[in-house]
């Protein structure tokens, strides 16, 4: 058997071990699981959410810092978690708590540049929100749900990067040497890609279905049977994030935009230009969110 075949078999076995032993992957802290339930329940109040957050001092301080940061530009000072929840809204709380928890869960040694990873994710999230705001007249959707899906869209990569460092180093080398997108290199070298690994995490963490679908289908939004609108938004936002220079490394190849994307979203050339202008002029703000994530 050739060395290449032996390697491929080894990779498959390592991936199968990770997928089968889902329990060994990090769990969302119970406080975060409960908070997602609270946020999804129509009967919950700001006090219910605040009561949970206050049990975690690190989350409490992140929440207050975010409410007072230029990222949201709220013109008065916020000193309690309840007012932070009221001012920011449930879905913003969900984005922050989920992304801060994921950043903490995957804070080990990584193959990819983790700072660039989070910058790409946060800029994708900001672009998603800008797209949703831009489309308000066409279709109603909560911009913060799109932000949350944007921050988490590539989480599958974190499993590869932290748990399979040597295999993922080969994937990155392949992508660089052949100037192909990471997704293509993952499929080629490992036979599995980060969208699939994202599903494993979304299932394990019981993330809401719209969020899971956006994670799974962000590279092939046309295949999403449910929440395909959100998947298209994240797909476009992901490409925009690459186009404004926020990729995983300098010169990373980006997959082409799916043909149906702009038609599905009803984004014409002039709309696209406005969206690009808005994201470019708010790029600096990503630092505020990134600083709070860590």
Task: By CB under 5 A, name the binding residues for Fe ion.
Answer: 154, 238
- State the Cα–Cα distance between residues 192 and 190, nearest whole angstrom: 5
In the complex with Fe ion, which residue's Cβ is closer, 49 or 157? 157
In the bound complex, what is the minimum distance in angstroms from residue 154's beta carbon to Fe ion?
4
**Cα–Cα distances in angstroms (integers) from residue 291 to residues 21, 27, 109, in the given order:** 33, 23, 19
In the bound complex, what is the minimum distance in angstroms from residue 264's beta carbon to Fe ion?
18
Q: Reduced to 3 states, what is the DSSP secondary structure of residue 106?
A: coil
In the bound complex, what is the minimum distance in angstroms from residue 44's beta carbon to Fe ion?
31
Count CB-CB contacts under 10 A for residue 216.
Answer: 22
In the complex with Fe ion, which residue's Cβ is closer, 74 or 255? 255
In the complex with Fe ion, which residue's Cβ is closer, 90 or 111? 111
In the bound complex, what is the minimum distance in angstroms from residue 21's beta carbon to Fe ion?
24
In the complex with Fe ion, which residue's Cβ is closer, 56 or 238? 238
Residue 156 tokens, joined? 């599958």
Burial tier of 277 (Cβ tally within 10 Å: 0-12, 13-18, 19+): exposed
In the bound complex, what is the minimum distance in angstroms from residue 247's beta carbon to Fe ion?
8
In the bound complex, what is the minimum distance in angstroms from residue 169's beta carbon to Fe ion?
18
DSSP 75-131: SS---SHHHHHHHH-HHHHHHHHHHHHHHHHT-S--SS-HHHHHHHHHHHHHHHHHH
Given a contact cutoff of 8 angstroms between Cβ atoms, the answer to whether 252 and 175 are in contact is yes
In the complex with Fe ion, which residue's Cβ is closer, 167 or 238? 238
Cα four-point dihedral sign 22, 25, 29, 34: negative
In the complex with Fe ion, which residue's Cβ is closer, 7 or 184? 184
- State the Cα–Cα distance between residues 227 and 180, nearest whole angstrom: 28
- State the Cα–Cα distance between residues 154 and 194, nearest whole angstrom: 7
Residue whose CB is nearest to Fe ion in the complex, by number: 238
In the bound complex, what is the minimum distance in angstroms from residue 59's beta carbon to Fe ion?
25
In the complex with Fe ion, which residue's Cβ is closer, 38 or 123? 123
- State the Cα–Cα distance between residues 91 and 73, nearest whole angstrom: 17
């Amino acid at each position: 058997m050739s060395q290449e075949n032996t390697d491929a078999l080894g990779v498959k076995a390592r991936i199968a071990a990770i997928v089968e032993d889902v329990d060994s992957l990090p769990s969302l802290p119970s406080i975060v699981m409960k908070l997602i339930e609270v946020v999804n329940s129509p009967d919950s109040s700001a006090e219910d959410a605040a009561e949970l957050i206050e049990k975690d001092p690190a989350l409490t301080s992140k929440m207050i810092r975010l409410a007072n940061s230029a990222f949201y530009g709220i013109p008065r000072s916020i000193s309690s978690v309840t007012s932070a929840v009221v001012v920011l809204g449930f879905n913003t709380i969900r984005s922050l708590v989920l992304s801060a928890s994921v950043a903490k869960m995957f804070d080990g040694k990584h193959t990819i540049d983790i700072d660039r990873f989070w910058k790409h994710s946060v800029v994708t999230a900001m672009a998603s929100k800008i797209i949703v705001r831009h489309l308000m007249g066409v279709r109603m959707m909560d911009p913060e749900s799109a932000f949350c899906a944007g921050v988490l869209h590539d989480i599958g990569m974190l499993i590869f990067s932290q748990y399979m460092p040597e295999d993922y180093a080969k994937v990155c080398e392949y992508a660089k040497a052949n100037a192909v997108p990471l997704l293509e290199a993952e499929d080629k070298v490992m036979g599995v890609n980060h969208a699939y690994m994202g599903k494993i995490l979304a299932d394990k963490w019981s993330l809401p279905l719209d969020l899971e679908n956006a994670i799974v289908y962000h590279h092939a939004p046309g295949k999403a049977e449910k929440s395909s609108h959100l998947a298209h938004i994240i797909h476009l936002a992901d490409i925009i994030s690459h186009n404004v220079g926020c990729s995983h490394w300098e010169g990373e190849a980006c997959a082409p935009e799916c043909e149906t994307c702009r038609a599905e979203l009803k984004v014409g050339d002039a709309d696209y230009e406005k969206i690009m202008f808005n994201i470019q002029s708010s790029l600096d703000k990503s630092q505020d969110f990134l600083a709070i994530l860590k």
